[in-house]
Amino acid sequence: MTPSVHQVLPTSAYYAPGVVSTAPRLLHVSGQPGTIEGTAPADYNSQIHLALVNLHRVMAAVGATVRDVIKLTYYIVNYDPNHRLHTRPLQTWLTGHRPAMTLVPVPSLAVPGWLFEIEATVAVPESVPSSLALTQPTEDVDVLVIGAGLSGLMAAETVLQAGHSCLVLEGRDRVGGKTWSCPLPSGEGVIDLGAAWINDTNQSMMIELARRAGAELIEQNTTGNCLLQREDGAVTGFPYGQTPRITAQMQSEMEAIRDIAEADCQALDCRHPRDTTLDSLSFLAYLHSRDASPAAIANASVWTRAMLGQEPQDVSALYFLNYCKSGGGLLQMRSDRKHGAQYLRVRQGTQIFAKTLAAGLPEGTIRLGERVTAITQKERGVTLVESKGRVIQARKVICSAPTPVLKTIRFDPPLPAKKQLLVDSFRYGYYTKVMLSFRSAWWVTRGYCGLAQSFCGPASIYRDTSSPADGKWVLTAFLAGDAGRKWSELGSQREREQALLRQLGEMYGAGDLPKREFIEAMGHEWSTEELSGWGCPCPALPPGVLSAAGDALREPFRDVHFVGTETAEEWKGYMEGAVRSGRRGGLEAVKWLSRSNL
């Protein structure tokens, strides 16, 4: 759709000096405060997130998105120009769109406790009927699956096993989505640019798939000490499984918050997480509300970075705690041992799972290089899907494209308001893995297991991802959150590599040993890829959205069913969640098809 809001003068700021709108109808939104069910949290940053969600809900009701915003006016109580906390959530929300803006400092707002209020003028998008309805379909199929990642392939297998015809359209030139295994340029072995770890106890579908694929599993190395690098660069060693003992006081502060977060996440309903108090807060505000000390906050910030690539002030506390619960709890998700999320790796690489699923489907089921651009639902049981200018008719569609990618698919009729709110709000943080290959496992000979975490970066975490059988000695650096994003802005690949080798030398007190042992580095910028939704490993939600629209997550839209790891009830964000969601979506379609065949 052609945008109806245009900037008047170019600017480097995140707002425009003026905009012109060609929209025939305008929506004027009253001041929206940062409340949830009428209550405002004490935390200022969380109120900003909530006010934006409240504004977004009004916009979604007329089918408008952030790109349709013409003018924003926001009112800030006790405004401090040296502490412009509103810019970060606003810029993130605007995702590059630049409306006209005015900030009005005020002594108070309508209700005591309100600290932020926002009003808007928005262009109401015109609904242009899709031309697909007039196009003759070239093919007809029972179920069309969008995407050949793990969720899409599992959905296709489920549909085919039930005896229905199925076609999978994949935009990339390969299967596997966020699993992507490549050979190391020099030497033996394979590295995973995407997902790497599974376990053999509570990830039942993945371990079954591993058996089917004949995967050789490598147990994560947890023998030896770990390291913690603090904000000032000082380093503390500690045995695997314990919290770092910077001082006895700091250790007990970190453990106390860990135990509180574990208890709070265990108390949530995995399938329908409901807690407006938790959802009214960012995870950072939640930590403050639990009296977390600076050391405990620094430690807990590594969790949101390492698990979602998010800074704790950007993600809803309810979303993060539910994410942890979906993987059995914070402790289990952080663990590299038996039952933990990082227990086993795959010698052949995890793309073997998608390749195995794909090989089991009848020839011709998967078409690569076919990006879906439009979905038109004519009547019950008749959905038209466009790819490369051709139209295919399906009785059911299963969409496994990551939720942020749905912005690039034209839906006619448009997605329901709650689903659109999810599509616009789900976003990835910054998350990249870089695999650094060395001539030897020099960290092992110095008595370390390779697990190291940092409060300052550039990498937040390192893990040993060696494959001894291949003579492959690798440390994987996790570049996540703000420090990772900053690292990604370094000029050249060599500068980025050198920054990591320097950090390793400092952490291990090893001088230039890492540089001398270094062979090569491999990584992938998932944040630049439209088909991954501009990020990985799993999109997350800011405060307020889960309460407003969480029930639309797995809800089909007429004949379009939604799968993908973020829709999973268990192991959200992981391969296990992806295959479970794929099975669920496949069964939903099969159930309807079986009933309609009676």
Ligand X SMILES: Cc1cc2nc3c(=O)[nH]c(=O)nc-3n(C[C@H](O)[C@H](O)[C@H](O)COP(=O)(O)OP(=O)(O)OC[C@H]3O[C@@H](n4cnc5c(N)ncnc54)[C@H](O)[C@@H]3O)c2cc1C
Residue ranges for the known binding site for substrate are: 478
DSSP codes of every residue in 131-151: GGGGSPPSEEEEEEEE--SHH
The answer to the question of residue 479 lying near ligand X (CB under 6 A) is no
Nearest to ligand X of 43, 424 (CB atom)? 424
Beta-bridge mates of residue 561: 398
Locate all alpha helices (DSSP H) within 1-86, ordered by sequence. 44-61
What is the closest distance, in whole angstroms, from the C-beta atom of residue 343 to ligand X in the complex? 10
Beta-bridge mates of residue 217: 346
Encoding tokens for residue 491?
């000029």
Locate all alpha helices (DSSP H) within 146-234, ordered by sequence. 150-161, 204-213
390-399 and 382-387 as β-strands: parallel, antiparallel, unpaired? antiparallel
The answer to the question of residue 168 lying near ligand X (CB under 6 A) is no
Quick note: the x/- pattern for ligand X over 386-415, rule CB under 6 A, is --------------xxx--x---x------
Name the phi and psi angles at 206, rounded to 5.
-70, -40
Quick note: the x/- pattern for ligand X over 15-54, rule CB under 6 A, is ----------------------------------------
19-21 and 5-7 as β-strands: parallel, antiparallel, unpaired? antiparallel
Token look-up 């309903």 returns 269
Rounded Cα distance between 374 and 411, Å, is 6
199 in Cβ contact with 210 (< 8 Å): no
Span 367-386, contacts to ligand X by CB under 6 A = 371-372
Encoding tokens for residue 134?
């007039």
What is the closest distance, in whole angstroms, from the C-beta atom of residue 550 to ligand X in the complex? 18
Q: Which of 158, 221, 532, 547 binds ligand X (CB under 6 A)?
A: 532
The answer to the question of residue 171 lying near ligand X (CB under 6 A) is yes
Nearest to ligand X of 170, 559 (CB atom)? 170
Beta-bridge mates of residue 176: none
366 in Cβ contact with 175 (< 8 Å): yes
As to burial, measured by CB atoms within 10 angstroms (0-12 exposed, 13-18 middle, 19+ buried), residue 549 is buried
Name the phi and psi angles at 293, rounded to 5.
-80, 165
Q: Which of 52, 196, 213, 507 binds ligand X (CB under 6 A)?
A: 196
Quick note: the x/- pattern for ligand X over 332-371, rule CB under 6 A, is ---------------------------------------x
What is the closest distance, in whole angstroms, from the C-beta atom of residue 155 to ligand X in the complex? 9
| Known binding-site positions | 151, 372, 478, 566
Quick note: the x/- pattern for ligand X over 124-163, rule CB under 6 A, is ----------------------xxxxxxx-----------
Span 549-568, contacts to ligand X by CB under 6 A = 564-565
Nearest to ligand X of 150, 452 (CB atom)? 150
What is the closest distance, in whole angstroms, from the C-beta atom of residue 474 to ligand X in the complex? 14
109 in Cβ contact with 117 (< 8 Å): yes
The answer to the question of residue 423 lying near ligand X (CB under 6 A) is no
Nearest to ligand X of 336, 497 (CB atom)? 336
Q: Which of 49, 86, 178, 496 binds ligand X (CB under 6 A)?
A: 178
552 in Cβ contact with 541 (< 8 Å): no
Rounded Cα distance between 563 and 146, Å, is 10
Strands (E) located in 425-465:
431-438, 448-454, 461-464
Count of residues in contact with ligand X, rule CB under 6 A: 40
Terminal C-alpha separation, the chain: 40
Query: How many CB atoms within 10 Å of residue 481?
Result: 24
In single-letter form, the type of residue at position 305 comes to R
What is the closest distance, in whole angstroms, from the C-beta atom of residue 460 to ligand X in the complex? 13
Nearest to ligand X of 5, 536 (CB atom)? 536
Token look-up 């699923």 returns 357
The answer to the question of residue 536 lying near ligand X (CB under 6 A) is yes
Q: Which of 55, 132, 195, 421 binds ligand X (CB under 6 A)?
A: 195
The answer to the question of residue 320 lying near ligand X (CB under 6 A) is no
What is the closest distance, in whole angstroms, from the C-beta atom of residue 265 to ligand X in the complex? 18
Nearest to ligand X of 50, 205 (CB atom)? 205
The answer to the question of residue 194 lying near ligand X (CB under 6 A) is yes
Rounded Cα distance between 411 and 377, Å, is 8
HSE (CB half, 13 Å, CA atoms) of 371?
13
Range in contact with ligand X (rule: CB under 6 A) among 240-248, 311-319, 483-491, 524-532: 524-532
Nearest to ligand X of 69, 132 (CB atom)? 132
Token look-up 């309100």 returns 114
Contacts with ligand X by CB under 6 A lie at 146-152, 169-172, 177-179, 194-198, 371-372, 400-402, 405, 409, 433, 526, 531-532, 536-538, 564-565, 573-576, 578
